[in-house]
Amino acid sequence: MNDSSPVGTPMDETVPAPASGDQPLLRAERLRVVFRVGQRGLPAVNDVDLTVSPGETVGLVGESGSGKSTLARTLIRAYEPTSGRIVYDGQDITHASEGALKPVRRSMQMVFQDPYASLDARMSVRRIIAEPLLAHRVGSRREIRERVAQLLEDVGLPPDSGDRLPAQFSGGQRQRISIARALALETKLLIADEPVSALDVSIQAQIVNLLQDIQRDRGLAYLVIAHDLALIHEMCDRVAVLYLGEVVEEGPADHVVTNPQHPYTAALLAATPVPNPDHGRERIVLHGEPPSALDPPSGCNFHPRCPIARPHCAEESPPLAELPDGRRAACFYPGELTAVGRVDGRSQEHC
Partner 1 sequence: MEASSAAEQRVNASDAVGGPVLSVADLRVTFPGRAGRTLAAVNGVSFDLRRGESIGIVGESGSGKSMTALSVMRLLPPTAQVDGAISLESEDLLAKSDRQMRRVRGDRVGMVFQDPMTGLNPVRRIGSTLREAIRRHRDCTRREADDRAEEVLRSVGIPSPRERLRAYPHQLSGGLRQRVMIALALVNDPDLLIADEPTTALDSTIQAQILDLLKEQVTRSALIMITHDLGVAAELCDRIAVMYAGRVVEQGATAEVLRSPRHPYTVGLLNAAPDFSRRGRLTPIPGAPPQIGRVPTGCPFRPRCDRADATCEQWPGLEERDERLVACWYPHG
Q: Tell me, residue by residue from 34 to 63, as one string, x for binding to partner 1 by CB under 8 A and - for no binding.
A: -----------------------------x
Burial class (CB in 10 A: 0-12, 13-18, 19+), 97: exposed
Strands lying side by side in the sheet with 57-61: 108-111, 189-193, 221-225, 57-61, 238-243, 246-252, 328-329, 321-322
Taking each helix axis as running N to C, give the angle between helix 141-154 and helix 125-135, from 0 to 180 degrees, rounded to the nearest 10: 120
Determine the longest span between alpha carbons in the chain, in angstroms.
68
Strand residues in the chain grouped as ranges (E): 6-7, 26-37, 40-52, 57-61, 83-88, 91-92, 108-111, 189-193, 221-225, 238-243, 246-252, 321-322, 328-329
Our finding on whether 186 is near partner 1 (CB under 8 A) is no
Choose the one of Mg ion, ligand ATP, partner 1, none that binds residue 149, judging by a C-beta under 5 to 8 angstroms depending on kind: none
> Of 26, 31, 59, 69, which lies in the binding site for ligand ATP, with binding defined by CB under 6 A?
69
Site for ligand ATP in 48-67 (CB under 6 A): 62, 64-67
> Of 28, 34, 35, 88, which lies in the binding site for ligand ATP, with binding defined by CB under 6 A?
35
Our finding on whether 68 is near ligand ATP (CB under 6 A) is yes
Binding range to Mg ion, per CB under 5 A, among 28-36, 69-77, 116-124, 310-318: 69-77
> Of 221, 225, 257, 320, which lies in the binding site for partner 1, with binding defined by CB under 8 A?
257
Residues 6+ apart with CB under 8 A from 290: 63, 64, 65, 66, 243, 244, 305
Compare residues 7 and 308 and give the one whose CB is closer to partner 1: 308
- The contact set with ligand ATP (CB under 6 A) reads 4, 35, 37, 42, 44, 62, 64-70, 227, 293
Q: Which spans of this chain sit near partner 1 (rule: CB under 8 A)? A: 63-64, 170, 172-173, 200-206, 208-209, 212, 227-231, 233-234, 254, 257-258, 267-268, 270-278, 285-286, 289-290
Contacts with Mg ion by CB under 5 A lie at: 69
